Structure 1
Amino acid sequence: MGLQNEKIAALSSVTADLNYLTPSRDRPRTFTFEPPSGEPRSNIVPEPHRVPIHDVRPISETVSLDREGFALVRQKSAVKDFYDQDQVKNVYYPEAERLIKAATGADRVFVFDHTVRKRVEGAADRGGGPRQPVARVHVDHTEKSGPQRVRDLLPDEAEELLKGRLQIINLWRPIRGPLLDSPLAVCDARTVKSGELVASDLVYPDRVGETYSVKFNPDHQWFYVPRMTADEILLLKCFDSKTDGRARFAPHTAFADPTTPADALPRESIELRTLVFHKE
């Protein structure tokens, strides 16, 4: 599966380390807060693998959410300051809903949260400062946690909504561009086997979420958008209830691009997470 070898060979690429999951008998687990005494913040051990990451721009018109599990779209936002929570919720959330409806034909889109990230050298994610890029191959939701988010967030409507098709789609964009530092790599979902997705606990103070960590396979095909601008968005499919062969889970990760100039500004980005409903 994935793109044909000759198409891949024609694309420019960089070679970089991506952090996969080191296989273990223990269930992967990460605390989002200070863990109980004697417990590590995470028991996930990264296993770096050097892989080619291809420039998706030349084929971006043919890449789709239902086939590869991601898409590159353009949108000039009216938001002036993505660090302003009110602007993001009152301006960007409605923009995102309209964009996803147009991209998917969905009947309803519900934006349920967003994260702004600004890379700080040496800082830990969830360490009290700005959220950091996640340099680990993962998928935000799983077969189990996708529908559960609907039950958590829309409890009165959940069972009726889940009778139709559910997708969970993230919108990821740079706040400032062109983005040179810590870009996002996305994997063609068709090249990932189900056994390579490992359910992993993300422990919050009030609930336990579930994401997928990913085991390495050299057949995985990776892509990124070089010099991504603030008017470009990567749509990432993190769940799809349809099991008819279309993409369901698209792994992704930040990575250290070896071509990044030493004086590049640190990555600043925003991602929105959305529940996408289709009646049929």
Structure 2
Amino acid sequence: MTTATMNLSIPCEVLGKDPAVFLQPGVGQAWPQEAREVTLHDLKPELENPETAQSPMEQLDSRGFAVVKNKSEAMGPLAQQREWNEAFLQAQLGAREVVIWNSVTRSSEPKVNTPYDKKPFAQDEPIEGLQFPDLVRPTASGAHVDQDALGSRRICKLALGEDVFEKYSRVQQINVWVPLKGPVTAFPLAVCDGSTFTKERTGYSYGMFASRINAFYGEEQKWYYIKRQEPDEYLLLKIYDSNTLPGHAEFTPHTGVDDLHGADGPETARESIEVRLVACY
């Protein structure tokens, strides 16, 4: 286990603010955060012992995220990753249809990345092609879920049509997260077991693409990461599921770790890809 520093949102009762304030455009993205020391459990043993691991879908159901070792050949040029990721998710989860609706490349190197501006933005159609070589964003800080259920349902309809929930028995919003180089020794992605995350630790805000979830700290939460993650070690993050059964994880809060305190060796700049998809069954 590794002790690391992460940022989480400060609850409204501590701030003395009405939660509705953060649903206003331009305000939600400025939700105050606090640094917390969190224990991270290593997922590497699961990747090294796949014969004892649950299937990717079982992992998504039970805890809201999955770890998968990519056994196929190299993904090839970045320009080909759109098709590769769609096919990868279909193969891993057995989805009937998979569509990419957005993507982001990130780097922790300030000389390389371009921060988001603070202007409210609501994406109203899937972005064709992946945003890989031309626009690199900073690593994300602050535990969150990209969209809440309302925001995710809007995105699913934009990606696959207004009748997507009538056409399919189950619709999920999944992010595929992978480093471009390894091992990752700084700002790794941490994910929370969704079954340990309670509604009392949830705040709703106006996010970059739709309404989103901000995560508050709780001692009951169990956080994970892949120690010294390599480019063939994938994290699948569940953002939304139209068919979450009782006892299953609805989603997984996640964030870039702000400080590993040198636990994984000399730190080098993190470079990663996050591809955001809608999967239908």
**TM-score surpassing 0.5?**
yes
Deviation at residue 81 of structure 1 after TM alignment:
4.4
1:247 aligned residue (246, 249, 257): 249
Query: What CA RMSD, in Å, does the superposition of the two structures yield over aligned residues?
Result: 2.6
- Percent of matched pairs sharing the same residue: 27
1:69 aligned residue: 64
Matched, 1:28 2:16: no
- CA contact under 8 A between 1:199 and 1:210: conserved in structure 2? yes
**Structure 2 residue matching 1:28: 3-state secondary structure:** helix
- CA contact under 8 A between 1:30 and 1:44: conserved in structure 2? no
**Structure 2 residue matching 1:103: 3-state secondary structure:** helix
Deviation at residue 112 of structure 1 after TM alignment:
1.2
Matched, 1:168 2:173: yes
Q: TM-score, normalised by structure 1?
A: 0.79
Aligned partners of 2:189, 2:268: CA distance in 1, in Å?
Answer: 15
2:44 aligned residue (44, 48, 57): 57
Matched, 1:151 2:157: yes
**Structure 2 residue matching 1:125: 3-state secondary structure:** coil
2:204 aligned residue: 199
2:126 aligned residue: none
Aligned partners of 1:241, 1:146: CA distance in 2, in Å?
Answer: 10
Aligned partners of 1:244, 1:156: CA distance in 2, in Å?
Answer: 24
Aligned partners of 2:24, 2:162: CA distance in 1, in Å?
Answer: 30
Deviation at residue 243 of structure 1 after TM alignment:
3.0
2:115 aligned residue (114, 121, 125): 125
Deviation at residue 97 of structure 1 after TM alignment:
1.8
Matched, 1:114 2:103: yes
Residues 1:93 and 1:42: Cα distance change in structure 2 (over 3 Å): closer
Residues 1:44 and 1:102: Cα distance change in structure 2 (over 3 Å): same
1:219 aligned residue: 220
Aligned partners of 2:60, 2:159: CA distance in 1, in Å?
Answer: 24
Deviation at residue 261 of structure 1 after TM alignment:
6.8
Matched, 1:236 2:225: no
Q: Deviations over 1:183-220 (max 9, x none)?
A: 000110000112322221025xxxx6111101111100
Residues 1:130 and 1:189: Cα distance change in structure 2 (over 3 Å): same
Which one has the bigger helix percentage?
A: 2
Residues 1:112 and 1:239: Cα distance change in structure 2 (over 3 Å): same
1:142 aligned residue: 148
Deviation at residue 59 of structure 1 after TM alignment:
3.5
Matched, 1:181 2:186: yes
Q: Deviations over 1:50-108 (max 9, x none)?
A: 110111122454351111111111225644443xxxx1xxx212222222122222111
**Structure 2 residue matching 1:66: 3-state secondary structure:** helix
Matched, 1:268 2:255: no
1:4 aligned residue: none
1:10 aligned residue: none
Aligned partners of 1:118, 1:29: CA distance in 2, in Å?
Answer: 28
- The answer to which of 263-272 and 166-175 deviates more is 263-272
Aligned partners of 1:156, 1:43: CA distance in 2, in Å?
Answer: 32
Q: Deviations over 1:153-183 (max 9, x none)?
A: 333543533x521111110000011111110
Give the partner amino acid of 1:73. V
